Amino acid sequence: MTLKTCLLTTVFALSLGLAPAMAGPVRDAEAKIADAYNDYRAALFLTNQKKKAETEASLAAFKTKWAALTAAWATTPPPHYAEDTKLGETIAAVTKLTDEATQLANAGDLAKSHEVLEGIRDALGDLRARNGIVSFSDRMNAYHTVLEHVYDHKYDSPAALAEDVAVLAYLAKEVGANRPAGADAAAFDPLFKAMEGSVTALRAAIKGGDAAAIDAARKAIKPAYSRMFLKFG
């Protein structure tokens, strides 16, 4: 599957708004995942910052919360995942990845630990996708997928770059239009505006045609996303 096909599939899935009404045990289960995911996000961010002690602390917190969650789900899985035949595989995969990332972090290989941690985001995203759920994290993940391509890919022409950046701009708007329930606008809005603004700046640089300006603008999109991801992703 090409990148463009993957992007179109992602955009279509997000546009469906498949998330069910979050009530009772469904809402409680997602709240527990979100609570653990806060520590996961911190660990993912901190590995990039090369902060070993802080990474280890965040991983330990995530591991504790994930263990409690999986123990509860072993007997009573939440209703929206109860019929998922791959739920056990996902739980086991996240546990294994957490253990591996922790061992790597303890050994000081934070770059490899970060790489391993990326798999947890994918595993939980796949879990939601299999069960018709679209969360704010999924919208951030869709943006991140395109961001990484725009950031790293060697383009043959500015027009090809502009095409992918247009998709990035669309996905940024999806993020902004779906602020998480309970998120403080005073905290959310500045981070989102900085993230969206980095894409706007890149589009302007491409239009201007200055190679140095384009390169600088490409480099700026990742830090803006990282700050948003750490707080809300």
9-34 tens-digit pLDDT? 444 444 434 344 445 788 888 888 98
**Global pTM?**
0.74
User: Under a CB-based contact definition with an 8 Å cutoff, are residues 69 and 33 in contact?
Assistant: yes
Give the model's pLDDT for residue 29.
86
Rounded Cα distance between 40 and 117, Å, is 8
pLDDT in tens, 120-172: 999 999 999 899 888 888 899 899 999 999 999 999 999 999 999 999 999 99
Residue 2 predicted with pLDDT over 80: no
User: Computed from CA positions of residues 21, 24, 29, 33, in that sequence, does the dihedral angle turn out positive or negative?
Assistant: positive
pLDDT tens-digit map of 36-83: 999 999 999 999 899 999 999 999 999 999 999 999 998 889 999 999
Instruction: Give the pLDDT confidence score for residue 4 in this predicted structure.
Output: 46
Measured at the CA of 200, the angle between CA 114 and CA 151, to 5 degrees, comes to 30
